[in-house]
């Protein structure tokens, strides 16, 4: 018996020498600690490891193919504390010889990370910042984006609303600069796809806490007052901080649907999707993380899977080969959204369908039928080649 095992081991060793010593790829994960958002209702999920768990699942998925090919993937995790800087962390990653980093950072620390010494030799994945400027004038050759941009989200929603013929929009915009940027994306999308913004208003109320006892009484009088405008088809809300948008549904002066950052939302990922095999990804994620997968989890997962998929297809863990292959025509990443995903060569953005999600169920996915494009319907979403301001 022992001899048989020894012979078997020897046979395995001879048959697959690569398996004896797996080639290892270390992928860095750089996150930042965030202020918890205001919890609006008892069903709200709050995650402190949003993004990180997605990267971890990506590593687990990469290793399932890797174990058959003699490739091993490992995540080097780093979450910035308030006093720490992204550039120091990138410097340490560079010192350790890491070639790939999932940058789960807001735009400002992401820009600092990109400016850090050593960053120029790495490939960073933006899995968090939706800012269009990062894909336009601030784009970088060593930066890929797996989170959809605001323009992509707005275009995805606009296509669905126009397909529904809900073409007259009441745009309601929060006070933060992020809300302004999202509103700009909605205005651009309306113009591109033939919707009309009939009312464009800022939200001027202070953020309220609706969870006070009988808090609904205040909201029941406040929201109708704030939404008393001329007729429209759909209220499109830009409230990225989730301060007031959730209070709009079922309280507007006119009986109209709410879409945008709350209500019917456009997102790269949602807990409600189970089509295109997504059930299995959602189940794996929940088993690992004990909560729903968020858009940032999904974007971090896509980043880690991109490295894994490229290494699988190349049967190589050479960083420059992987980085080159990912940007090339042959790369197609399965992302549980019905078709292969690829990076746009002109700005490094991952092309992907945008989910149109209700609170409990998936409502649709864009691009919508009938929105055509000379290259791929996916390029009807976001900043296209011809209009790109990105120059590497």
Which part of the chain contacts another protein (CB under 8 A), choosing from 61-69, 185-193, 213-221, 252-260? Answer: 61-69
Structure-block tokens of residue 102? 């999932």
Minimum Å gap between C-beta 272 and another protein is 16
- Using an 8 Å Cβ cutoff, are 379 and 126 in contact? no
The interface with another protein within residues 12-41 (CB under 8 A) comprises none
Q: Nearest-CA neighbor of 181 among 105, 106, 270?
A: 106
Distance of CA 111 to the CA centre of its chain: 18
Residue 378 in the binding site for another protein (CB under 8 A)? yes
Q: 278 or 356, CB closer to another protein?
A: 278
Q: 51 or 58, CB closer to another protein?
A: 58
Q: Which residues contact 165 (CB under 8 A, 6 or more apart)?
A: 233
Which part of the chain contacts another protein (CB under 8 A), choosing from 35-43, 59-67, 105-113, 193-201? Answer: 59-67
Q: 231 or 275, CB closer to another protein?
A: 275
Minimum Å gap between C-beta 171 and another protein is 32
Residue 141 in the binding site for another protein (CB under 8 A)? no
Residue 338 in the binding site for another protein (CB under 8 A)? yes
Q: CA–CA distance from 97 to each of 25, 27, 92, 93, 212 (Å)?
A: 10, 10, 9, 6, 52
Q: CA–CA distance from 40 to each of 69, 73, 267 (Å)?
A: 47, 38, 20
- Using an 8 Å Cβ cutoff, are 313 and 298 in contact? no
Q: 224 or 338, CB closer to another protein?
A: 338
Residue 69 in the binding site for another protein (CB under 8 A)? yes
Please count the other Cβ atoms lying within 10 Å of the Cβ belonging to residue 237. Answer: 29
- Using an 8 Å Cβ cutoff, are 189 and 151 in contact? yes
Q: How would you label 243-259 residue by residue, b for 16+ Cβ within 10 Å and e otherwise?
A: bbbbbbbebbeeebbbb
Which part of the chain contacts another protein (CB under 8 A), choosing from 40-48, 121-129, 208-216, 329-337? Answer: 329-337
Minimum Å gap between C-beta 377 and another protein is 7
Minimum Å gap between C-beta 8 and another protein is 11
Residue 61 in the binding site for another protein (CB under 8 A)? yes
Residue 64 in the binding site for another protein (CB under 8 A)? yes
- Please state, in angstroms and rounded to a whole number, the distance separating the CA atoms of residues 295 and 297: 5
Residue 288 in the binding site for another protein (CB under 8 A)? no
The interface with another protein within residues 198-237 (CB under 8 A) comprises none
Contacting residues toward another protein, per CB under 8 A: 61, 64-65, 68-69, 277, 279-280, 283-284, 309, 312, 315, 332-334, 338-340, 375-378
């Amino acid at each position: 018996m022992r001899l048989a095992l020894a012979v078997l081991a020897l046979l395995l060793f001879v048959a697959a020498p690569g398996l004896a010593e797996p080639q290892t790829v270390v992928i860095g994960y750089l996150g930042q600690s965030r202020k918890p958002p205001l919890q609006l209702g008892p069903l709200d999920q709050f995650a402190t490891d949003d993004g990180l768990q997605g990267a971890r699942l990506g590593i687990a998925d990469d290793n399932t193919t890797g174990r058959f090919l003699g490739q091993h993937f490992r995540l080097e995790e780093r979450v910035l504390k308030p006093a720490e800087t992204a550039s120091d962390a990138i410097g340490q990653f560079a010192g350790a010889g890491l070639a790939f980093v999932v940058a789960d950072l807001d735009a400002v620390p992401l820009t600092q990370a990109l400016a850090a010494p050593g960053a120029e030799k790495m490939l960073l994945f933006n899995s968090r910042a939706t800012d269009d400027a990062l894909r336009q004038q601030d784009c970088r050759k060593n930066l890929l984006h797996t989170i959809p941009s605001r323009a992509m989200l707005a275009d995805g929603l606009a296509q669905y609303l126009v397909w529904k013929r809900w073409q007259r929009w009441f745009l309601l915009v929060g006070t933060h600069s992020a809300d302004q940027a999202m509103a700009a994306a909605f205005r651009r999308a309306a113009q591109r796809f033939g919707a009309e913004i009939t009312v464009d208003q800022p939200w001027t109320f202070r953020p309220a806490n609706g969870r006070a006892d009988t808090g609904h009484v205040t909201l029941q009088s406040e929201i109708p007052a704030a939404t008393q405008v001329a007729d429209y088809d759909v209220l499109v809300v830009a409230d990225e901080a989730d301060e007031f948008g959730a209070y709009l549904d079922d309280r507007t002066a006119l009986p109209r649907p709410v879409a945008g950052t709350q209500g019917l939302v456009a997102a790269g990922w949602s807990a409600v999707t189970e089509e295109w095999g997504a059930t299995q990804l959602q189940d794996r994620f929940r088993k690992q993380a004990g909560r729903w997968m968020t858009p940032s989890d999904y974007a971090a997962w896509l980043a880690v899977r991109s490295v894994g998929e490229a290494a699988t297809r190349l049967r190589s863990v050479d960083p420059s080969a992987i980085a080159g292959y990912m940007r090339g025509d042959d790369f197609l990443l399965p992302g549980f959204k019905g078709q292969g995903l690829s990076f746009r060569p002109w700005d490094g953005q991952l092309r992907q369908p945008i989910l149109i999600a209700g609170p409990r169920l998936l409502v649709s996915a864009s691009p919508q039928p009938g929105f055509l494009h000379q290259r791929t319907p996916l390029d009807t979403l976001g900043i296209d080649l011809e209009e790109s301001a990105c120059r590497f």
